Amino acid sequence: MKHIIIGTAGHIDHGKTTLIKALTGRETDTLKEEKARGISINLGFTFFDLPSGKRAGIIDVPGHEKFVKNMLAGVSGIDIVLMVIAADEGVMPQTKEHLEILQLLNIKKGLVVLTKKDMVDEEWLEMIKEDVKDRVKGTFLENSPIIPVSSKTGEGIDKIMEYVEEASEEVEAKDTIGHFRMPVDRVFSVSGFGTVVTGTIFGGRINTGETVEIYPQKITGKIRNIQVHDKDVTFAEAGQRCALNISGVKGEEVSRGNVISKEDIMEPSLTIDCNLYYLKSAEKPLINRQRVRLYHGTDEILCRVIILDKEEVKPGENAYVQLKLEEPIAAQRNDRYVIRSYSPMITIGGGAIIEPVAKKAKRLNKEYLEELKIKESGSADSIVESIVNKLSSNYPGNNEILKALGKNEDRLADILDTLVKEKKIIRLDAGDKPVYIHNKFLMKKIEEASELLKEFHKNNPLKAGISKEEFKNKVFGKNLKQRNYDEILDILLKGDIIKITGNNVALYDFQIVYDAYQKEIKETILKQFKEGKYMPPRLEDLSANIKNKKDFKAVLDSLLDQGELYKVNEECILYNEYFTEAKNMLTQHIQSNDFITAGDFRDLLDTSRKYAVAILEHFDSLKITKRVEDKRFLM
């Protein structure tokens, strides 16, 4: 399932918090100082439901220049931004800086919200709109809607909802299969529970009971409880805001900026290699070894910039840089970051991390710079990854990937190993030769599977699930070999996406719920099969006194699906425990007497020859027994 995080941005007192209250009905300013002064100081978090019923998290960030640090901690994990501009003031200094930050963090979706519409006339409003259009040219907001609203009257709020609904469909789903990672933005203690941390999950999934590690300190703890949108849940995944109650960790051992992940997944580092875009708005060139403030995830760290490919970086230029940090960081390749000047604190640039655990580099070293360019572009790795993504529906092996490359690549095995380790692709090892699928392909299939199962459960509420074969053909296609299909099912099972009952696949949290009438039918059916034992009732007799034959069949099928009843053949159904008992009695008899006859088995079960023979023939089909003339032996 796709999860969406909305964030606000904009100048102080332009109505961000009031807008969120109009959208959600909830107040995000919680500090006494915030309420007293009427300005947001810290991050605010809440949620709201879109018209489709999809629930979106929302982050309110402070607009004051003194609290840009807090703003950066909030927007690093958002999908859609509401750029808030007051209609009575227009674009202001923090509007510009926030927009630059969003650009540097590569936010791709958003709209401009002109608040306080009720305070200006239409002529002024049109003038502000034109000014805003000019200011956002060349940014990701250039072609986005500009929606005037009044948070007091509610005018325009529905249009924001409509845009967010539409934009949420275009947002790329987060990686819920890779390893779990969540930057911490709040830490507090709850009496009787201990340490609680909150944040936006960047990747993967976390379940209650799992062990996590806190980076960069490398302290381990266990997840005692998880909350998403104020409700207890058994797991949370990428794209959701959540609160984690961690046992074995003291509150003072964790702080904003730390990263919660799995054990031994990440490597803290004091040196990172990056590409850097130095803003045009910067007042002077960036010089080598300049001290700056780095913002990554929810962390702020002082560092020095080592310029690797030139003497200095002029405003508007790109560069390769190495950041020497004063405290360790836990990062991943391609993570976005922002830098601000040490003093005065002004945003001056940002980019992407190329190497999160870098070695010391000499400036202007052509060989090192060439390595950085290869890492940045991905080179052969990116091409192979792209091919696997393209061919995933055919479940390609090494030969198919080599053919698609169009050239011999003797590093292919190493590249595939690297991509598997980085969780970008998945190797299915069953069988003679491994096949590969892209993580994005699996994510898409998981979405398709969830929709298919959701619809199936809606139409068949008493069925334990869809058959494995039908599930395979409808979701993964006929090209997938059975042994590789079993591996994928195992991945989905471990990810708590599905569950399997007998030969049926269902959503992990699906439960069969009988209504009162169906419960009566269930109890009647089970009672008759228990009492009948090895002389089971005929279905036509059993259903004779039940008015709704459709409900009878549905309940009977659900009991068979769930394994409470066992179908030997069309005329012989047994209570499951009796079937198991019959198998044990058969085995023990043959072990003691070498063989069994139909007459022996009839007497053993105290049944008729008809049912004894039916059960014996079923054991033959299961390869438990082998018939030789009128005797049966164990296989």
**pLDDT per residue over 350-386, tens digit each?**
999 988 888 899 999 998 998 888 778 866 788 788 8
Contact 28, 45 (CB under 8 A): yes
Cα separation, 408 vs 353, whole angstroms: 30
Pairing mode of beta strands 146-148, 181-183: unpaired
Are 506 and 591 members of one domain? no
Residue 353 located in a structural domain: yes
Unique residue bearing structure tokens 């507090």:
188
DSSP track, 309-366: SSSEE-TT-EEEEEEEEEEEE---TT-EEEEEESSS--EEEEEEEEESSPPP--TT-H
CATH number of the domain to which 419 belongs: 1.10.10.10
List, for residues 156-192, the tens digit of each pLDDT value: 899 999 998 998 888 888 878 777 999 998 898 888 8
Residue 29 confidence class, pLDDT cut points 50, 70, 90: very low
* Angle, in degrees to the nearest 10, between helices 609-621 and 576-593: 80
Give the count of domains, the chain.
Answer: 5
Q: Does the pLDDT at position 439 exceed 90?
A: yes
CATH number of the domain to which 206 belongs: 2.40.30.10
Contact 204, 181 (CB under 8 A): yes
Are 396 and 347 members of one domain? no
625-628 sheet: strands from edge to edge: 596-597, 631-634, 625-628
Residue 32 confidence class, pLDDT cut points 50, 70, 90: very low
Are 63 and 161 members of one domain? yes
Q: Which residue has the higher pLDDT, 469 or 71?
A: 469
Measured on CA atoms in the order 230, 232, 237, 243, is the torsion positive or negative? Answer: positive
Cα separation, 568 vs 614, whole angstroms: 7
Residue 392 located in a structural domain: yes
pTM for the model: 0.69
Are 225 and 292 members of one domain? no
Are 523 and 626 members of one domain? yes
List, for residues 305-323, the tens digit of each pLDDT value: 999 999 999 999 999 999 9
Domain boundary, last residue among 376, 410, 442: 376
Cα separation, 224 vs 487, whole angstroms: 29
Domain that holds residue 572: 517-634
Residue 74 located in a structural domain: yes
Are 556 and 629 members of one domain? yes
Amino acid identity of residue 318, one-letter, is: N
Start-to-end Cα distance in the chain? 47
Q: Does the pLDDT at position 405 exceed 70?
A: no
Residue 237 located in a structural domain: yes
Residue 93 located in a structural domain: yes
Are 241 and 288 members of one domain? no
Are 397 and 499 members of one domain? yes
Q: Output b/e per residue, 419-431; b: 16+ Cβ within 10 A.
A: beeeebbbebebe
User: Quick one: tokens of 64?
Assistant: 């004051």
Are 58 and 93 members of one domain? yes
Q: Does the pLDDT at position 617 exceed 80?
A: yes
Domain boundary, last residue among 170, 191, 211: 170
What is the pLDDT averaged over residues 424-443? 89
What are the φ and ψ backbone dihedral angles of 422, each rounded to 5 degrees? Answer: -85, 5
What pLDDT shows up at residue 627?
92
Residue 176 located in a structural domain: no
CATH number of the domain to which 28 belongs: 3.40.50.300
User: Quick one: tokens of 198?
Assistant: 């909150």
Domain boundary, last residue among 320, 354, 376: 376
**534, 531, 555, 532: which is closest to 543 by C-alpha?**
555
Half-sphere exposure in the Cβ direction for 130 (13 Å, CA): 6
List, for residues 91-136, the tens digit of each pLDDT value: 888 889 889 999 999 999 999 999 999 888 899 999 999 999 999 9
Q: Does the pLDDT at position 59 exceed 60?
A: yes
Residue 73 confidence class, pLDDT cut points 50, 70, 90: confident
Q: In whole angstroms, what separates CA 306 from the centre of its chain?
A: 36
Q: Output b/e per residue, 308-319; b: 16+ Cβ within 10 A.
A: bbbeebeeebeb
What pLDDT shows up at residue 279?
96
The pLDDT > 90 percentage for the chain reads: 51
Cα separation, 413 vs 532, whole angstroms: 61
Element (H, E) at 38: none
Q: Does the pLDDT at position 76 exceed 90?
A: no
Cβ atoms within 10 Å of 485's Cβ, excluding its own:
19
Are 138 and 200 members of one domain? no
Residue 175 located in a structural domain: no
**299, 261, 80: which is closest to 185 by C-alpha?**
299
Lowest-confidence region among 27-31, 284-288, 326-330, 344-348: 27-31
Residue 575 located in a structural domain: yes
Are 397 and 545 members of one domain? no
Residue 438 confidence class, pLDDT cut points 50, 70, 90: very high
List, for residues 501-545, the tens digit of each pLDDT value: 888 999 999 988 888 888 888 888 888 889 889 999 888 878 777
Are 402 and 475 members of one domain? yes
